[in-house]
Amino acid sequence: MRLLAQILFIAALLFCLYGLFLLLLRCRRGNPRWAGLEGRRYAHRGFHDKPAIPENSLPAFRRALEHGWGAELDVHLLKDGTLAVFHDSDLRRCTGAAGTIEDLDRAGLAALRLEGTAEPVPLFDEVLALFEGRAPLIIELKSHGGNHRALTEAVSARLDRYRGDFCVESFDPRVLMVLKKLRPGFVRGQLTMAFHKGDEGLPGWQCFVLRNLLLNFLTVPDFIACRFSDRSRLPLRLCRRRWGAHEASWTLRKPEELAAAEADGSLPIFETFDPGPK
């Protein structure tokens, strides 16, 4: 009898822990704006073709539109409030310059060129003007140095004037918490991957929280944007099956990956190949 009681206690404890885990993974279902994003393919940082057409450049975004695709892009907040489309905070990889993009103003940004070409770093306004009324956008907010609130406020204010389909995503749950409060109607997504200690300079405990989506109960995302190689992990599966969350898959580099993502109803974010029309 004592053994049976111990087994029942352990079973009850495991059941409670599982229930708590599900509550932590809470997502939102039924956002009507999601319909404007479905059924499209998304070029990762535009349909770039290096070295001639850099990532996150106006030619890359124009090229995506020419093929009828949407695009995924990255947004940073400069020190003077300018919103720029660029991936890294560090300028070196894409411009060869030293420093971080958040320390620039608009004039300093205009002096930079992308990846050895004559292309400047685009402003967020310029990319929005290209896509407005034509194709949807997946907009990733890149916080840096504790600017998550200022970045989210600036992007939200600009998107209030935008007439097109879009969603907003971020690896930083603080961005989504601010977005949830300021613009609850926006489609918002939590980016994730199988973080390991040291990834993105994060300590082990933060990697554990982020890879297991343990702050969803605070952000309540509409979708999870997961690295394709990590999409079989339990937290994502539970978000989809138990909470009805949508999914976006990045970054697809093979036709078979694209086919698998689309078969599961995931928004496909691709690069380095031409998937053709859907």
CA distance from start to end of the chain: 62
225, 192 in Cβ contact below 8 A?
yes
DSSP helix/strand/coil, 76:
strand
Active site residue 87: yes
Catalytic member of 48, 76, 87, 246:
87
Closest listed residue to residue 140, CA positions, set 167, 160, 121, 165: 167
In the DSSP assignment, the letter for residue 33 is G
Catalytic member of 44, 76, 148, 246:
44
Sign of the CA dihedral with 111 first, then 114, 116, and 119 last: negative
Instruction: Judge residue 12's burial from the number of C-beta atoms within 10 Å of its C-beta, 0-12 exposed, 13-18 middle, 19 or more buried.
Output: exposed
Closest listed residue to residue 218, CA positions, set 186, 168, 173: 173
Which residues are the active-site residues?
A: 44, 87
